[in-house]
Amino acid sequence: MRHGRKSKSRIFSGYKSHLASDLDRKLVLACAVTRANRPEGEGLDAMKTDLSRILPHSIDELHVDRAYVGAEYSRHLLRGGAALISKARGIAANDGYFNKSDFTIDLRARIATCPAGQSVPIALGEVARFKPEACAACPLRVICTSATASHGRTLSIAADEPLQRRLRKLSNFRPGRAWQRERVAIEHRLAHHAQKQGRFARYRGLRKNLLDSRRRAAILNLEVLHARQTA
């Protein structure tokens, strides 16, 4: 299956192209091609070997789209002390009910408190469940949950909740937003790469399309180096 989806209304078929670029030198360091229905994180994981071979030192900063935050390679770099810069995942609207941002989440104490003051213990990567009897008697229930009276409100706590909170804090002040915008340079590389390669895959199969992607990336790098020499 090679059918992917950008949103509920936007679908596409074929392959996804992934690039890793040095934001300072504007050179493409690695490429990957995955099927359209595979998670973006697999593209970053596929470039791990190439990046480890090319870069003589560890990566200090990793600027990625939020779809790559959960990749194994991202977690590996975080464990090694790298700074991961991305936009935080959005907090989905809850059809008029309280959403996650209306709750107080204390990650240090591992406690979540609802707008009415009820607190429950939480764990990373698990769903916190508020007591049904407390929710049933709560005057805010009508704007908190549509669950039946025998069920209380639930709250999903992401496995990377501390990281997402740090990324949201970055977006709250100007230097942090500027730091997050540095990733825009890779969008330019992707656009130029797409111009070279075209909108459609030239070959059947991942291996041949990966070779074609690397060939186009090499041309981009030669153009960057030529522009520096003639500047």
Q: Which domains does the chain have, with CATH numbers?
A: 3-89+164-230 (3.30.420), 100-157 (no CATH)
pLDDT at residue 140, as a whole number? 95
**Predicted TM-score (pTM) of this structure:** 0.81
Instruction: Dig out the tokens for 63 from the structure.
Output: 């600027």
Q: pLDDT of 17-29, one tens digit each?
A: 999 999 988 999 9
d(CA 64, CA 23) in angstroms, rounded, equals 11
Q: pLDDT of 156-206, one tens digit each?
A: 999 999 999 999 999 999 999 999 999 888 888 888 998 888 777 888 888
d(CA 133, CA 137) in angstroms, rounded, equals 7
d(CA 26, CA 23) in angstroms, rounded, equals 5
Give DSSP secondary structure letters for 19-51: EEEETTTTEEEEEEEEETTS-THHHHHHTHHHH
Compute the half-sphere exposure of residue 166: CA atoms within 13 Å on the CB side of its CA: 9
d(CA 62, CA 39) in angstroms, rounded, equals 18
List all residues 6 or more positions away from 64 whose beta carbon is below 8 Å from its beta carbon.
Answer: 44, 71, 74, 84, 85, 86, 183
Q: How far apart are the first and last CA of the chain?
A: 46
Instruction: Dig out the tokens for 192 from the structure.
Output: 């130029």
pLDDT at residue 1, as a whole number? 45
Q: Which residues of the chain have pLDDT under 70?
A: 1-13, 56
Residue in this structure with the two tokens 């790469």, named with its chain if needed: 193
Give DSSP secondary structure letters for the chain: --EEESSSS-EEESEEEEEEEETTTTEEEEEEEEETTS-THHHHHHTHHHHHHH-SS--SEEE--GGGTTSHHHHHHHHTTPEEE-PPPP----TTS--GGGSEEETTTTEEE-TTS-EEE--TTSEEE--HHHHHT-TTGGGT----TTS--EEE--TTHHHHHHHHHHTTSHHHHHHHHTTHHHHHHHHHHHHHH-SS-SSSSHHHHHHHHHHHHHHHHHHHHHHHHH-
d(CA 84, CA 74) in angstroms, rounded, equals 8
